Structure 1
Amino acid sequence: MTAISTSSEARRTGSALEVLAVFLKLGLTSFGGPVAHIGYFRREFVERRRWLDDATFTDLVGLCQFLPGPASSQVGFSVGLLRAGWLGGLAAWCGFTLPSVFLLLAFAMLAPSLGGPIGSGLIHGLKLMAVAVVAQAVWDMARKLCPDAQRAAIALIGIAILSVLTTVYAQLIVIVLGALLGWVLCRSPLPGSGSTAAGQGHAFRMSRAASAVSLVLFCVLLFGLPVLADLYPWLPAKVFDAFYRSGALVFGGGHVVLPLLEQQTVATGWVAPSDFLAGYGAAQAVPGPLFTFAAFLGWTIGPGLDHGVGAALATVGIFLPGLLLVIAALPYWQALRARPSMAAVLAGVNAAVVGLLAFALYSPVWTSAVHSGRDFAIAAIAFLLLTRWKTPPLAVVALCAVAGIAGVALG
């Protein structure tokens, strides 16, 4: 018996194997980032298979965008949970996530052997692709999440704070301040903040016990892991803590995780800046959620940790908090989202996230990749291909890789 249900007539009992097969297909073919993933999900589960109706699906998307974590993975997990219970949720996550995990691990294994001009040119081309992708994310998110003076000011304040603070808690400070400023400045109805009214979707009924256990586990791991890592400086515990905190504190999903992961891996000396950006560029070329970049980073962490163990800890660590929060929030979501104060807090957090990503565009992305006028031209062309001509990301990755190799060959 599944722990969660809706009053939707479209819902039918299914099997975990059925869910796994459908999500495995999506995990192999879903290019384009979280927004595109939601579109794929809607076509597959609302229009084609009718596992959910439109109102239920919209409510799930709204919940997952409200919570920290990878929104598309959280939506997929929720759909699997609705369809086939706990095993269905696990099957959905595995099918959608593991293909890109294995592809990025293959790149991590091959990266050290990519020497010579071809290898270095390929790596540099992937770094320039990362510049274009992050710039596109900043552009799109700023237009959507900062359309008025209040939210633009919150984003700029976040950039200013990050420019002077060097503490590992700088990102958390920016997010908390964004929430407070949103609560003060964004209480009135804001442009672009409309959502489905509470009560238009179908009610979710989940065990309150499961919700409470998930919330307690989320908090115990979030606050207990840093204490454990300090008391017992065991590298696997430190790695799991670093990626768990990244997954727990990233609002907006997708590219927003970049500054948090950079702070946890590059700033700590675990991963070289060049490896970080090369892996991030490679992550644009694979389908599935961008959070699987964590698998590459876990594999790449230096001596003292087995590659496979590092990849597993990083992957589970970064996805686990978002999934726990979905389980915890489902019983209360529809009542919570009707409160104007919560909408204001979310608006402020989203604006602060834009500031986080904008600062990350400068450092480490731009400073580590753009070293000449030619580099700038390649990154600018890639940006225009993505934003103006809507070129598929995989094609832009190939173009940047060829341009990087050609640039090294020409000197």
Structure 2
Amino acid sequence: MRTGRVGEVFTAFLWLGLVSFGGPIAHLGYFRETFVVRRRWLSEADYADLVALCQFLPGPASSQVGFALGILRAGGVGGGIAAFFGFTLPSALLLAGFGLAAAQIAGPAAEALLHGLKLVAVAVVAQAVWGMARSLAPDRFRAGIAFLAFAISLLAGGPFAQVLAIAFGAVANLAFDRTAPTPPTGRLEVPIARRAGIIALVLALGLLLAIGGLATAGVSPARFLDAFYRSGALVFGGGHVVLPLLEAATVAPGWVTPDDFLAGYGLAQAVPGPLFTFAAYLGALVGGLGGAAAALFAIFLPGLLLVYGTLPFWDRLRSDRRTQAGMRGANAAVVGVLGAAFYDPVFTSAVLTPWDAVLALGGFLLVTIGNMPAWSAVLLLPLASLLVR
């Protein structure tokens, strides 16, 4: 990959941050078209390698791919930071603004529109569960892992149960999966020393333990940071999978109401860029503009540290059978965790009447059978909810 300038990286990703609708899978398609096909920053094989790495790690996959592309293009971490800010700022500013204005939204019409956004969340999360189940739990054994993860998450509840379910999936598949490892497709030339990678990995784990310890001790700012840092550090699959972790971290302690949470999640489908910027909305509800900035920093930091730390070692990791088997099991468990979140709180909080069920099913069919973008449901369902009410 030819070395470029940080400014070039920022402007390329800022444009993508303004136009990349459709969630993480769509984002990866935009990246491929822009950087592999048109700009020719890297080869198809190298891009596939980056995508595989970021799907292997916890965190927001599309943002991690963008961060890695920026590093490779500009020859250092400055390019990664430029790519991250360019891709993240548009949606972060929009969602933070909505969070700041949420307290001013009142009245029957506003409540009907917000309820429509909750129905959008039902349709979009149902689509995510359906699509992920088909690709990540395609056989009986992994479907069984997904079911048990669903049961653990739903019956036990809380973030610990979700982490336990994902760990169970990884261990179970590692014990019984005998699939041959997928051979590597190429070799990435990474401008990161192994020592720097180790420091980043140690820092990611150290912050998780340190912030979590302070939060357990009752330090108020640490509790806030821990809620978002832990969500970013422990979510596999990115995108919609962060929903149950953020719900457990912000709704369960009473920081955000279930209605506000689901309304914001529905609105997040209408903006471009990474879905993790939903954290800006939640942070703004809790702590204003400063809370939005802190939530964004905390939720994205672990994923970026992990991809930076793993890049120098990826050639070795990707060819290991045990690593691949464990990740296949963890990904199957993620389907069950997201399925539990779909039932509670998404479905139980939004579908309260027969009309709600009709509108939610209509939105689901719109984005699945109709292949319409998620933002079309954001436009239609709130208006339909307003008419019904």
Q: TM-score range by the shorter chain?
A: over 0.9
What does residue 280 of structure 1 align with? 265
What does residue 155 of structure 1 align with? 146
**What is the letter of the counterpart of residue 231 of structure 2?**
S
Contact preservation (8 Å) 1:236, 1:313: no
- The alignment status of 1:325 with 2:306, answered yes or no, reads yes
CA distance in 2, matches of 1:325, 1:130: 29
Contact preservation (8 Å) 1:203, 1:334: no
What does residue 215 of structure 2 align with? 229
CA distance in 2, matches of 1:199, 1:158: 32
- The alignment status of 1:40 with 2:30, answered yes or no, reads yes
Matches within 5 A, 1:3-402: 11-84=1-74, 85-189=76-180, 195=182, 197-198=183-184, 200-231=186-217, 233-301=218-286, 306-402=287-383
**What is the letter of the counterpart of residue 50 of structure 2?**
L
Contact preservation (8 Å) 1:198, 1:335: no
CA distance in 2, matches of 1:12, 1:163: 49
CA distance in 1, matches of 2:340, 2:349: 13
CA distance in 2, matches of 1:317, 1:248: 9
TM-score by length of 1: 0.92
CA distance in 2, matches of 1:199, 1:114: 52
What does residue 7 of structure 1 align with? none
Q: Deviations over 1:201-259 (max 9, x none)?
A: 4343521121011011011111111112233x332211111100100000000000000
User: What secondary structure does 1:22 align onto?
Assistant: helix
**What is the letter of the counterpart of residue 117 of structure 2?**
L
CA distance in 2, matches of 1:395, 1:157: 34
1:167: Cα distance to partner?
4.6
* Structure 1 segments unaligned to the other structure (5+ residues): 1-10
Q: Deviations over 1:50-79 (max 9, x none)?
A: 111111111000000000000000000001
User: What secondary structure does 1:204 align onto?
Assistant: coil
Contact preservation (8 Å) 1:186, 1:347: no
CA distance in 2, matches of 1:199, 1:376: 46
Contact preservation (8 Å) 2:159, 2:245: no
CA distance in 1, matches of 2:83, 2:191: 20
What does residue 384 of structure 2 align with? 403
User: What secondary structure does 2:236 align onto?
Assistant: coil
Contact preservation (8 Å) 1:150, 1:186: no
CA distance in 1, matches of 2:68, 2:179: 31
User: What secondary structure does 2:188 align onto?
Assistant: coil
**What is the letter of the counterpart of residue 258 of structure 2?**
P
CA distance in 1, matches of 2:193, 2:261: 41
Contact preservation (8 Å) 2:118, 2:346: yes
User: What secondary structure does 1:390 align onto?
Assistant: coil
Alpha-carbon distance change, 345 to 381 in structure 1, aligned in 2, over 3 angstroms = same
1:168: Cα distance to partner?
3.8
1:307: Cα distance to partner?
1.0
CA distance in 2, matches of 1:198, 1:338: 6
* Structure 2 segments unaligned to the other structure (5+ residues): none
Contact preservation (8 Å) 2:283, 2:294: yes
Residue-pair matches, total: 388
TM-score by length of 2: 0.97
Identity %, equivalent residues: 54
CA distance in 2, matches of 1:374, 1:163: 26
User: What secondary structure does 2:40 align onto?
Assistant: coil
CA distance in 2, matches of 1:201, 1:33: 28
**What is the letter of the counterpart of residue 214 of structure 1?**
A
Q: Deviations over 1:312-333 (max 9, x none)?
A: 1110111000000001111111
CA distance in 1, matches of 2:20, 2:382: 21
User: What secondary structure does 2:335 align onto?
Assistant: helix
1:199: Cα distance to partner?
5.3
CA distance in 2, matches of 1:325, 1:202: 17
1:339: Cα distance to partner?
1.2
**What is the letter of the counterpart of residue 367 of structure 1?**
T
